[in-house]
Amino acid sequence: MRRWIAALLTIFMAVNLMTPALFAQETLSDAAWRADVEQLKAGILRLHPDPFRHVSEDVFHASIDSLLDDIPDLSDDENMVRIMQIAASLRDGHSALWPTAQGNYSIHFYPVLFHSFEDGVYVVDAAPQYEDTIGARLVSVGGVDADAAFDMLRASASGDNSHTLTVAIQMNVVEVLRGAGIINDEPNYVLELPDGQ
C-alpha cells in the first residue's frame, strides 16, 4: 500500500526534482485507496493540534466521505489529488502531502521548477539540459492557460497564505496535472523566453 510522506520543500526539491521516476505504473485497488484515506483522516484527527481552524469539522468529514464514495469512479491520479486537497484544506504549511514514488506507482517530475509571481508563473530553476528555460514565463500547460492551471491546482496546494502556497511546485508533476484535470496524457508546456521567443 502506498504511504504518503510529508516532506520539507527543500528535501522534496533536492531529491525529486532532478530524478524522474521511470517505473511502470501500477493501479491501486479501491481497498488500498480507502485504507489510505482512512489513515489520513485518523492521522489528522490524532496529530493535528487544531485541524478545524480553517475548515469546519463538517466540511472536513464530508470531503472524506465524498472521496470514499468516489474512489471506484476515479483514476489513481484523481484519488491522489483529492487526498492532497483534503490535506491542503487545513491551510497549514506544515500539513502537506507530497506524492512520491512508492513501489510500482511512480510519480514523474519534469526537471524544471516553477514559481508564481504577480506577473505570471516562471521557470526559476532547471536541470542542466533545460537551463536555457530559466527566466521563461509559462504560457500554458496541456493547452490550459498558466493562470487557469494555477487556479486549478490551488485546492491541492498546502500553505499558510498566498506566499507559501506550493501550487507552482505542482506544475512539474505529471500525475498531479492529470489528477487535477489539466492534462490527459503528457503535458505540453508552452514557455515564453525572456527574449520573447
**59-98 pLDDT, tens per residue?**
999 999 999 999 999 999 999 999 989 988 888 777 777 7
pLDDT, tens digit, 9 for 90 and up, residues 108-124: 888 998 888 889 899 99
Instruction: Give the model confidence (pLDDT) of 7-40 as tens digits.
Output: 222 223 323 333 333 334 567 899 999 999 999 8
Using CA atoms, how far apart are residues 155 and 77, in angstroms rounded to an integer?
A: 15
How far, in Å, CA of 79 to CA of 145, rounded?
24
Q: Strand, coil or helix: what is 117?
A: strand
| Contact in structure between 80 and 70 (CB atoms under 8 Å) | no
pTM above 0.85, yes or no: no
Sequence-ordered list of residues with C-beta below 8 angstroms from that of 178, at least 6 positions apart, any chain: 75, 77, 78, 184, 185
